[in-house]
Amino acid sequence: MTDAAPPATDVPVRPAATVMLVRDGATGLEVFMMRRTFSASFASGMWVFPGGRVDDTDGGDELEAICDGLDDPTASRLLGIPAGGIAYWVAAVRECFEEAGVLLARSRTPDGLPGPVISFDRPDVVERFERARHEIHDGHRSLLHLCETEGLVLTTDAIHYVSHWITPKGEGKRFDTRFFLAAAPTAQEPLHDDGETIDSFWVSPVEALERKGHGDLALMPPTIANLEFIAPHATTASAVAAAAAVGVPRTILPKLRHDADGRLIGVAMPDDPDYDALP
């Protein structure tokens, strides 16, 4: 006999981080998106940005040494938490590297000045970092160790916090997710891992929203809202400037709508007229 599923109110809310990689494409601003596998227990088949849970390895005082231009008090203040905020930035970088093969890091110069963003421009470099990517994903190596051995620091000064979403009560899995935005490195080509994700592409935010409207691109409400945030911007510079100006975004906790028989019929957002009346 198996144990019964926990009540909806007892489902733990796990911290998570995800990052929108943007670039200037041939016709304007583009964002990198990936499709989650249909066997995933959460958001199966959905198109998302690279991201995932904040792990224990993403936190700790030693992580500040590899976070360029960001310390934990500043990160925690932006997130509205007492401490440990820098772990969300580290998680965003780690998940982006594991899932999309993009490492948001720059070289560390001997005099401490910012160096160039890492380039995967030689076969030996590509092979070395691809091996490191799998080692980090499998837990055999940490992002901290990679940065120390390669002489890198994370470009956390250029990764901007733009929104905060919490999965509604009633879902089988719940996440407290912070969304970030960063310019994609020019000498790294994103990909999907063929594990948790099965497809990927660069797309203009406007096109992604149009395809959602036509029913051929499955998107969750947080993804839609973040695409709407960057859609008005024609260039990476404009989108990054807007992201840097956000400051502390409000927390968005959607609520599930059910009919009289308890069937799920929709999702209510904080600005909807019936939001406060819902349990």
pTM exceeds cut of 0.75: yes
Between 53 and 3, name the one with better pLDDT. 53
pLDDT tens, residue by residue, 235-258: 999 999 999 999 999 999 988 888
Going along the chain, which residue ranges are E strands? 13-25, 28-36, 47-48, 51-53, 105-108, 114-117, 152-154, 160-166, 174-183, 197-203, 251-252, 255-258, 264-268
Residues 6+ apart with CB under 8 A from 180: 17, 18, 19, 20, 88, 89, 92, 159, 160, 161, 162, 243
Q: What percent of the chain stands above pLDDT 90?
A: 60
Residue 43 near residue 36 (C-beta atoms within 8 A): yes
Name the amino acid, one letter, at 92: A
| Mean pLDDT value of segment 96-111 | 89
Where helices occur in the chain by DSSP H, the ranges are 72-79, 86-100, 123-137, 143-150, 205-214, 221-230, 236-244
pLDDT tens-place string over residues 8-64:
557 899 999 999 999 999 889 999 999 887 566 565 688 999 999 999 889 888 899
Q: Is the pLDDT of residue 145 over 80?
A: yes
* 70 and 156 Cβ atoms separated by less than 8 Å: yes
| Dmax (CA) of the chain | 67
Domain boundaries, the chain: 12-248, 250-279
- Residue 19's nearest CA partner among 143, 165, 181, 148 is 181
Q: Say whether 130 sits in a helix, a strand or coil.
A: helix
Lowest average pLDDT, out of 64-68, 117-121, 193-197, goes to 193-197
- pLDDT tens column, 63-92: 998 999 999 999 999 999 999 999 999 999
**12-248 placed in CATH 3.90.79.10:** yes
Q: What is the mean pLDDT of the chain?
A: 88
